[in-house]
Amino acid sequence: MPTYSASEISSLGGDRETALIAGDGGLQFVNKLRFSITGIGAGLAWLAFGLSCLRWPDIGDWPRTEAVAYTAFAIAGGIAIATTAQAALGKFGDGVQRRAPWLFALGVFLTLWELATAKFGWLPLPFFPPPQSIVEVYTDDLPKLLDSAFASVKLQLGGYFIGAVVGFLTGVSIGWSRLAGYWVHPILRFIGPLPATAWLPIAFFTFPSAWSASTFLIALATGFPVTVLTWSGVASVSTAYYDVARTLGAKPSFLVTKVAIPAALPHVFVGLFMGLGASFAVLVVAEMIGVKAGLGFYLQWAQGWASYNNMYAALIVMSLLCSGAITLLFKVRDRLLVWQKGVVKW
Q: What is the DSSP letter of 235?
A: H
- CA 38 to centroid of chain Cα atoms: 26
Span 305-344, contacts to another protein by CB under 8 A: 337-341
Establish if 240 lies at the interface with another protein (CB under 8 A).
yes
C-beta closer to another protein: residue 241 or 308: 241
- Which range touches another protein (CB under 8 A), out of 118-126, 205-213, 261-269, 321-329? 261-269
C-beta closer to another protein: residue 51 or 343: 343
Establish if 195 lies at the interface with another protein (CB under 8 A).
no
C-beta separation of 98 from 122 below 8 A? no
Establish if 265 lies at the interface with another protein (CB under 8 A).
yes
C-beta closer to another protein: residue 16 or 341: 341
Helical ranges in 1-36 per DSSP H = 16-21, 25-31
Least gap, CB of 242 to another protein (angstroms): 9
C-beta separation of 19 from 81 below 8 A? no
Establish if 20 lies at the interface with another protein (CB under 8 A).
no
Establish if 256 lies at the interface with another protein (CB under 8 A).
no
Which position among 245, 256, 321, 325 is part of the footprint of another protein (CB under 8 A)?
Answer: 245
Establish if 251 lies at the interface with another protein (CB under 8 A).
yes
Least gap, CB of 338 to another protein (angstroms): 8
Q: What is the DSSP letter of 261?
A: H
Establish if 259 lies at the interface with another protein (CB under 8 A).
yes
- Which range touches another protein (CB under 8 A), out of 143-151, 207-215, 237-245, 267-275? 237-245
Least gap, CB of 341 to another protein (angstroms): 5
Which position among 17, 90, 124, 247 is part of the footprint of another protein (CB under 8 A)?
Answer: 247
Q: What CA–CA distances, in Å, run from 81 to 52, 78, 177, 203, 222?
A: 22, 5, 62, 56, 46
d(CA 261, CA 156): 25
Which residue in 198, 168, 191 sits closest to 282, CA to CA?
Answer: 198
Span 197-226, contacts to another protein by CB under 8 A: none
C-beta separation of 309 from 131 below 8 A? no
3-state DSSP assignment of residue 299:
helix
80-104 CB burial, b ≥16 within 10 A, e <16: bbbbbbbebbeeebeebbebbeebb
Cβ contacts of 298 within 8 Å, gap of 6 or more = 144, 145, 148, 310, 314
Establish if 161 lies at the interface with another protein (CB under 8 A).
no
Establish if 258 lies at the interface with another protein (CB under 8 A).
yes
C-beta separation of 275 from 225 below 8 A? yes
Establish if 16 lies at the interface with another protein (CB under 8 A).
no
Least gap, CB of 297 to another protein (angstroms): 42
C-beta closer to another protein: residue 42 or 264: 264
Count of residues engaged in binding another protein, rule: CB under 8 A? 23
Establish if 254 lies at the interface with another protein (CB under 8 A).
yes
The one-letter code for the residue type at 165 is V
Establish if 236 lies at the interface with another protein (CB under 8 A).
no
Least gap, CB of 269 to another protein (angstroms): 13
Least gap, CB of 171 to another protein (angstroms): 18
Cβ contacts of 173 within 8 Å, gap of 6 or more = 180, 184
d(CA 184, CA 173): 9
Establish if 281 lies at the interface with another protein (CB under 8 A).
no
Least gap, CB of 251 to another protein (angstroms): 7
**Helices 131-140, 65-84: crossing angle, 10 deg rounding:** 100
* Binding interface with another protein (CB under 8 A): 238, 240-241, 243-251, 254, 258-259, 262-263, 265, 337-341
